[in-house]
Structure 1
Amino acid sequence: MALGALDTSPEHPAGHEILLEFPDNRLLIDLCGEFDRNLTDIEQALKVQIVRRGNQLLVIGEDAVRQRAVTVLQTLYQRLEGGRIVESADVDRELRMKPPQDPPSGGQFEMFKGGHVEIKTRKKLVEPRTDAQKAYVQSLFAHELAFGIGPAGTGKTYLAVAVGVSMFITGHVDKIILSRPAVEAGEKLGYLPGDMKDKVDPYMQPLYDALNDFLPGKQLAKLLEEKRIEIAPLAFMRGRTLSNAYVVLDEAQNATTMQMKMFLTRLGEGSRMVITGDRTQIDLPRNVPSGLQDAERLLTSIPKVSFNYFTSRDVVRHPLVAAIIEAYEADDKA
């Protein structure tokens, strides 16, 4: 791939544009997207102009944004050369991410090679879309106890479960345990019918959804039956010692201080523990302190515990979700 050739024609002065040449026109078509949608997204995000000329793309703009657009185009084209597809989510991720840095030294996991973070599961390859997500995933592999704190839609739970599945299928842990407090989100649901599993499963559904994204249905069902993957309310963790396991506590803002202490002290040999939560969505009764806030206050000075924070800039759901979160944050500050 010939990249970085500079067009110095009088029509476009040197220093304000870069002409990129792509040898495989079929890959270039995929890079541009349907009706050049990918190019339009890059133009709007970075305030540049991209003109297609046969198998070339002319990038016009100020120095910093022009070079950023070139980096995004190069990275996406290299992704296509590697046999992967480029979707709008991949364009969005590259626009949010800073240029790839050197991978951590001494890393033992393949997803850090080449500077990009990739999580391999049975059904899909998961890639963080923002710098905060990338740092979060790296900390999940590097620390035995990690916290992910931020608003809804930032991938805290999804990425944590993806890392758990990756570590499980590569043999780094023997089982996965996913938990969350069975707390109603601001409304009384009344008595639910059925046995204990039927009663708690509605609270656990987001965890089942994440697992279904990463594991084939039959394999997941077998692992659940064999209890190599467990999904249980936080109250069921009492009295257990969790060894050689990958353990996730989701919606941790709804754990009380005593529940959080109980959960954290379950950590056993060879285990990893991840706690995710959103401090703005506490559903505990009034005057009951959140265990997540207490843990954050008490544990930040411990070197082997990592805290990763997300903002509305890391929201990877519909763009309106980020705008909604920003509106509520601005109202809280007013």
Structure 2
Amino acid sequence: MAATLLPPRDASDDTLAEVAVEFPDNFLLIELCGEFDRNLAEIEQKLSVQILRRGNHLVAMGEKPAAEEAVQVLRALYARLEAGRPVASADIDRELRMPGAEPERASRDGNQFEMFKGGPVEIKTRKKMVEPRTEAQKAYVRNLFEHEMAFGIGPAGTGKTYLAVAVGVSMFIEGAVDKIILSRPAVEAGEKLGYLPGDMKDKVDPYMQPLYDALNDFLPGKQLAKMMEEKVIEIAPLAFMRGRTLSNAFVVLDEAQNATTMQMKMFLTRLGEGSRMVITGDRSQVDLPRGMPSGLQDAERLLGRIDKISFNYFTARDVVRHPLVAAIIEAYEADTPG
């Protein structure tokens, strides 16, 4: 049985209100509140309200718009629980960023994915379901499914690479592609690391670690190891792409701001039949030698008018890491000349 919204009881101050909502299933209500009421505490902190539990009612108290929004978020989270889906901190964050969105799944017709109109897209992987948490992320995921080539450009922590890898795993599971290829330029981030020990894999793995981290979130360890051994999943430096034609593959180029103009052209022209290609980067974190233009900026300039290529942009508002990350990015952006 769905939650029941009770008539609001205004406090003495016209700008303040108490908004109550009834949740009939006490077991789901316990899950909604979270251990030690941590879910309620997170909503309280982010909306500057107070939430009290009275029997099977929750009452949000504070400025009227915020109290009403808190109840809207609570009802949406309760609906998730009724549908048999868990509620975690990421789900609370998503409801606060995109209130009232209904779940939406990606479905396949032959080799094409069709995204239904509506709420956040669900990306199915072997280990978990991934859902975009901002409108920009949602539009980005749609474009990853709908376009053969897509760019994701924006600051760190906005989910550009994470969502791209999730979509790649999802499309592989569905049989839309035969393999996943992940690549990055092997460029040092402002530090001279010297000669690294070991064979070629040992030398390049430190540069590729963020891609391994994303894959480990979506695939069981043994399955991932087997897929990599069989070359169904490849992780390689950008330089290793030269001379290849990448067919029936989901291909991701991460940290593309560190690709030179010639490297970017080389990579983009590797696209083969039945493949999807995603290029992600952050224009504010170019580690190329001074005076060397970034291939990502050139690609924006040259390819921006091609209809079949999508360009997706993120800002500090789309950061889904620690809240301080967004504040740090905004501070640096504000201090940038021009």
Q: Normalising to structure 1: TM-score of the pair?
A: 0.92
CA drift of 1:79 comes to: 1.3
Residue 4 of structure 2 aligns with which residue?
Answer: 3
Residue 33 of structure 1 aligns with which residue?
Answer: 34
Distance 1:207 1:5 in 2: 48
1:194 counterpart = 2:198 = yes
CA deviations over 1:38-87 (Å, ceiling 9, x no partner): 22322332334433211011234555434432321111111112223212
Amino acid at match of 1:199: K
Whether the aligned pair in 1 keeps the contact of 2:253 and 2:278 (CA below 8 Å) is yes
Residue 322 of structure 1 aligns with which residue?
Answer: 326
SS of corresponding position for 2:7:
coil
Amino acid at match of 2:189: A
Residue 167 of structure 1 aligns with which residue?
Answer: 171
Residue 152 of structure 2 aligns with which residue?
Answer: 148
Whether the aligned pair in 1 keeps the contact of 2:180 and 2:249 (CA below 8 Å) is yes
CA deviations over 1:177-208 (Å, ceiling 9, x no partner): 00010101101111112222221111111111
Whether the aligned pair in 2 keeps the contact of 1:148 and 1:309 (CA below 8 Å) is yes
Distance 2:213 2:327 in 1: 25
Distance 2:195 2:205 in 1: 13
Residue 86 of structure 2 aligns with which residue?
Answer: 85
Residue 331 of structure 1 aligns with which residue?
Answer: 335
Residue 19 of structure 1 aligns with which residue?
Answer: 20
SS of corresponding position for 2:156:
coil
Whether the aligned pair in 1 keeps the contact of 2:140 and 2:152 (CA below 8 Å) is yes
Residue 56 of structure 1 aligns with which residue?
Answer: 57
Amino acid at match of 1:120: K
Residue 302 of structure 1 aligns with which residue?
Answer: 306
CA separation of 1:295 and 1:122: change in aligned 2, threshold 3 A: same
Percent sequence identity over aligned pairs: 77
SS of corresponding position for 1:167:
helix
Whether the aligned pair in 1 keeps the contact of 2:187 and 2:288 (CA below 8 Å) is yes
Distance 2:198 2:304 in 1: 42
CA deviations over 1:237-259 (Å, ceiling 9, x no partner): 11111111100000000000111
Distance 2:189 2:68 in 1: 46
Amino acid at match of 2:52: V
Amino acid at match of 1:73: L
Whether the aligned pair in 1 keeps the contact of 2:106 and 2:121 (CA below 8 Å) is no
Amino acid at match of 1:35: F
Amino acid at match of 1:248: V
Residue 228 of structure 2 aligns with which residue?
Answer: 224
CA drift of 1:12 comes to: 9.6
CA separation of 1:191 and 1:104: change in aligned 2, threshold 3 A: closer
SS of corresponding position for 1:37:
helix
* Structure 1 stretches of 4+ moved >6 Å: 9-13, 104-107
Q: Which moved more, 1:167-176 or 1:199-208?
A: 199-208
Distance 2:105 2:210 in 1: 32
1:213 counterpart = 2:217 = yes
Whether the aligned pair in 2 keeps the contact of 1:111 and 1:118 (CA below 8 Å) is no
SS of corresponding position for 2:53:
strand
130, 133, 136: which is aligned to 1:129? 133
Amino acid at match of 1:51: L
Whether the aligned pair in 2 keeps the contact of 1:98 and 1:131 (CA below 8 Å) is no
Whether the aligned pair in 1 keeps the contact of 2:104 and 2:122 (CA below 8 Å) is no
Distance 1:315 1:56 in 2: 33
Amino acid at match of 2:302: L
Equivalenced residue count is 334
Amino acid at match of 1:285: P
CA drift of 1:106 comes to: 9.2
SS of corresponding position for 2:155:
coil
CA separation of 1:160 and 1:235: change in aligned 2, threshold 3 A: same
Residue 181 of structure 1 aligns with which residue?
Answer: 185
Amino acid at match of 2:54: R
5+ unaligned residues in a row in structure 2: which ranges? Answer: none
1:282 counterpart = 2:255 = no
Q: Normalising to structure 2: TM-score of the pair?
A: 0.90
CA separation of 1:231 and 1:104: change in aligned 2, threshold 3 A: closer
SS of corresponding position for 1:327:
helix
Whether the aligned pair in 1 keeps the contact of 2:251 and 2:277 (CA below 8 Å) is yes
Distance 1:8 1:234 in 2: 61
Distance 2:244 2:209 in 1: 23
SS of corresponding position for 2:21:
strand
5+ unaligned residues in a row in structure 1: which ranges? Answer: none
Which of the pair is proportionally richer in strand? Answer: 2
Amino acid at match of 1:212: N
Amino acid at match of 1:97: M
Residue 46 of structure 2 aligns with which residue?
Answer: 45
Amino acid at match of 1:29: I
Amino acid at match of 1:275: I
CA separation of 1:169 and 1:163: change in aligned 2, threshold 3 A: same
Q: Which moved more, 1:38-47 or 1:18-27?
A: 38-47
CA drift of 1:102 comes to: 9.0
